[in-house]
Amino acid sequence: MNGARQTRQGKTLRARFLLGLSVLGVSSSSVTTKQQIFALVGSAPQAKQEATVPARAQATAGTEENTTFQLRLIGDGTLCPMKDLKCSDKDIWWKGFTLLASNGHTLYLTSIPFPSVERSKMKFESSINEDEKILRRTSESNRKDEPVGERALGLFQETKDTKPPWGVPDYKLFWTWDAHYWEIIGEHLEDVLALEERLKEQGVNAVRRWR
């Protein structure tokens, strides 16, 4: 029974990820991708509340250090709807990475290289508005201590008015670095924080080597 429940939860997260990729456009929440390519990797509107991360949900340092990740799937597409020939975002491509944690949980990493810092900020604020509760929000600085973006951690639940496992809340960590926007989605907070630490240590591009 536990195996079946995990399978249903995995399908739910995968469906949310694909749905999330279809609404990545800044100007519309109903945007669908114009073009998508997926490749299997390996063998297998209310005001937001700001709060600290609940103690029971905090990950220990040991958990974060011991968690590893494997790249399972890569996908990409444009931010424009298929039938919108006049869409100004036709040249903006997102790229998505499906990752499998060593504990068996699935996470989703999305990258969008926007053409300007302003567009990246718009997407960041859009994600802030989507989250039900903001657990953390900080500024991003480079090595010269110059501000280059923001980072936030939020709790959200896209599937409302449903019972578990279909209504399981997810955590979303998202940040900007100049004109680039990144986003991590996972059901378990400790996994999201562990992936955050891995990306800080190895760099975001390292995810392509996690085969």
Task: Give pLDDT tens digits for 30-73.
Answer: 333 334 445 555 544 444 444 444 433 444 344 556 899 999 99
Q: What is the rounded distance in angstroms from the CA atom of residue 32 to the CA atom of residue 84? A: 10
**Distance in angstroms (rounded) separating the CA atoms of residues 12 and 3:** 14
Global confidence as pTM? 0.69
Nearest alpha carbon to residue 153 among 95, 202, 192, 125? 192
Per residue in 99-150, pLDDT (tens digit) is 999 999 999 999 999 999 999 999 999 999 988 899 999 999 999 999 999 9
The strand pair at 36-40 and 69-78 is best described as: antiparallel
- pLDDT per position as a tens digit, 187-201: 999 999 999 999 999
Q: Which of 106, 105, 91, 92 is nearest to 18 (CA)?
A: 106
CA nearest neighbour of 77 among 96, 62, 102, 94: 94
Q: What is the spatial distance between Cα 153 and Cα 190, in angstroms, rounded to a whole number?
A: 12
Judge contact between 108 and 13, C-beta under 8 A: yes
Closest to 149 (Cα-Cα) out of 180, 172, 128, 171: 180
For the chain, the domains span 2-82+92-209
**Residue 160, pLDDT above cutoff 60:** no
